[in-house]
């Protein structure tokens, strides 16, 4: 593996980004590429995968991947290692949300969210970590949420909130187990971002409320706001950082949110 340069701290590294064909995952995939990594993206939609691979350019890879299906995860990880030679960085950015009261949410919707957001993170770690261990180390980064730290003010995102809280436990447990193998496991906890999942909030009263609640005054952040922290966590600079979830939220979690006069 080539030694990284200051301008490209991920030079010579290979990264797999799940959910990498849209939203935060797509932005992170391009950020890792710009930092020198060769990037594979995995997602369920083949047409979007092909589009992202074309835009990422030579040396990239796109794979049809359902993170809730263990056979699909195993095949994708093995394809990355076989075709790109190694796997240094895993970013689990695949995620879904379903809004609903605990009293009305259908079991199928609960299962969809948990299987994608939490079980998917487990499966990707399970199959990526052995390859990283054999090559001497690696980085695993999960995309959590501020709702991995707090709950929505009116609930209603019960499956999503529980999945992201569970992800915090997975990060800590895996960080402890995998540390002796030189594998660091961390998460980022984005605040509200403008993606396909949240586009219905844009221009609505809730966007103004998010901006009021966030000390930076930001409403829906751009996906690019979350790239730098992932590049850092994927680099040697984060070699002694593991088991944490880092909020990237404009100060949202630092404030009590009260609208004092």
Catalytic annotation, residues: 160
Spell out a b/e string for 144-155, using b for 16 or more CB atoms within 10 Å of the CB, else e: bbbbbbeeeeee
**Quick one: CA torsion of 218, 248, 167, 147, rounded to 10 degrees?**
-30
Contacts 24+ apart (CB under 8 A), 111-114: 112/68, 112/159, 113/159, 113/160, 113/163, 114/159, 114/162, 114/163, 114/166
Task: Give the chain's length.
Answer: 261
What are the structure tokens assigned to 198, written together? 């949240």
Helix (H) or strand (E) holding 116: none
User: Contact, 186 vs 245, CB < 8 A?
Assistant: yes
């Amino acid at each position: 593996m080539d030694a990284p340069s200051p301008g490209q701290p991920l030079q010579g590294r290979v990264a797999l980004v799940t959910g990498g064909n849209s939203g935060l995952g797509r932005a992170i995939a391009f950020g890792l590429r710009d930092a020198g990594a060769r990037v594979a993206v995995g997602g369920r939609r083949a047409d979007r995968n092909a589009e992202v691979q074309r835009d990422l350019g030579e040396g990239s890879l796109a794979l049809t991947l359902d993170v809730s299906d263990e056979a699909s995860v195993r095949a994708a990880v093995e394809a990355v290692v076989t075709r790109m030679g190694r796997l240094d960085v895993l970013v689990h950015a695949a995620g879904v949300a379903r809004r609903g009261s605990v009293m009305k949410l259908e079991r199928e919707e609960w299962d969809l969210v948990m299987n994608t957001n939490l079980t998917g993170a487990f499966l990707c770690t399970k199959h990526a970590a052995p390859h990283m261990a054999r090559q001497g180390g690696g980085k695993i980064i999960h995309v959590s949420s501020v709702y991995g730290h707090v709950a929505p003010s009116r609930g209603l995102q019960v499956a999503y909130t529980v999945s992201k809280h569970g992800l915090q436990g997975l990060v800590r447990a895996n960080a402890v187990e995998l540390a002796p193998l030189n594998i660091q496991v961390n998460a980022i906890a984005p605040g509200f971002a403008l993606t396909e999942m949240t586009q219905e909030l844009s221009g609505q009263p809730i966007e103004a409320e998010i901006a009021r609640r966030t000390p930076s005054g930001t409403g829906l952040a751009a996906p690019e706001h979350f790239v730098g922290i992932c590049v850092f966590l994927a680099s040697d600079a984060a070699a002694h950082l593991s088991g944490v979830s880092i909020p990237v939220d404009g100060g949202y979690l630092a404030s009590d949110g009260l609208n004092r006069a």
